[in-house]
Amino acid sequence: MKIGTKVIHAGLPQGGQGEPFRSGVTFAGPFHASGDPKAVPYTYGRYHNPTFTQYEKALGELEGGTTIVFASGMAAITAVFGITLRPGDILVMPTDSYYNARSIAENYFTEMGVTIRKIPTAINELGDAITGAKLLWLETPANPGLDVCDIRGLAKEAHDNGALVAVDNTTATAIGQSPLALGADFSVSSDTKAMTGHSDLIMGHVATRDEQLANKLLAWRTQMGPVPGPMEVWLAHRSLATLELRLSRQCSNSLRIAEFLQTHSKVSGVRYPGLPDDASYEIASKQMQFFGPVVGFVLPDAAKADKFLHSCKLVFEASSFGGVYTTAERRARWGGDDIPEGFIRLSVGCEDEHDLINDIEQALAAM
């Protein structure tokens, strides 16, 4: 089945005469549950919900593994750290991965006795860094720098050294890249971004092929409580049906915009994994089905970058990425990333490519 069909039908029940294609949202705290709780499919909303079940089934079909949905991307990240890392363990993670993932690792988990070893995303071999490690954390393409790593090769090296492997797959999405098929133990996503794609939800998920790890993730969610609201989950499942349509348009737009930016005299350091001359292209073209909706580039300084953003009419100045609306920000304003002050993270939406290029061109001229 082609991916465009798969995302539309993912998680749908067989259905019967007179039934809707997909059931409505289930709002419930407690459920009727007499006798042995193990004999009842649903007992309490922090444990499970029929709306969760449908969305998790849909994600599992796309990820190729059992999937647990969480209240946010950070909740999903923290769950993986939480079920794998104990005092004395070693975590290997990229120097250029998502700032908040690094922050919680460097603060909370180091305070409880976990050692952090950092490597760049664009690394060919782990070498001594993986020796004795419990978990290898990868993010590819990296946010915001867009470097890419070889998931299959690094996962094999990590497994040969006894480490588990998790991949933050947010930028690529579950249809743009398949970490579990490439050897990872966990595929992690902030569904706030392109998976749901309408800039109106906060959500995350973790997928794994190991049932013991899946049970630990479910226990973590049940006990720690990072449970999403059923309405948000229902909306996420509804949004999933257009993922391939949205991502196809976004990636096509991204490539055209990246090509345009490469020709502009005021722009430097253009990054997009889909550009044939990009440093990430060789690996990305082997393991990604879509190159993602994010383009990075550098303007001369912070003041000019801010002027550019303020001059855009179609491009909204906002954090986050992956939505149908094109957004951009001067990423260095947040701190925590080793990037130039004029670095722009552009999240390309589904508008007409010519309109977007014209808007970017006039904003660069105004700068």
User: In the structure, what pLDDT confidence band is assigned to residue 46 with cuts at 50, 70 and 90?
Assistant: very high
Among residues 219, 240, 261, the one where a domain terminates is 240
pLDDT at 251: 98
Residue 95, domain CATH = 3.40.640.10
Same domain, 248 and 236: no
Which of 84, 348, 46, 25 has the alpha carbon at shortest distance from 206?
84
Same domain, 201 and 350: no
Question: How many C-beta atoms surround the C-beta of residue 234 within 10 A?
Answer: 21
Q: Name the residue range of residue 92's domain.
A: 3-240
Residue 344, domain CATH = 3.90.1150.10
Same domain, 221 and 291: no
Per the CB < 8 A criterion, the answer to whether 318 and 193 are in contact is no
Average confidence (pLDDT) over 14-35? 90
pLDDT at 335: 87
Same domain, 255 and 329: yes
User: What DSSP state is assigned to residue 38?
Assistant: G
pLDDT in tens, 66-88: 999 999 999 999 999 999 999 99
pLDDT in tens, 263-290: 999 999 999 999 999 999 999 999 999 9
Same domain, 194 and 159: yes
As a whole number, the mean pLDDT across the chain is 96
Q: Is 323 left (phi over 0), alpha (psi -120 to 50) or beta?
A: beta
User: In the structure, what pLDDT confidence band is assigned to residue 124 with cuts at 50, 70 and 90?
Assistant: confident
Average confidence (pLDDT) over 314-329? 97
Same domain, 191 and 85: yes
Per the CB < 8 A criterion, the answer to whether 253 and 348 are in contact is yes
pLDDT at 181: 98
Count of the separate structural domains present in the chain: 2
pLDDT at 332: 87
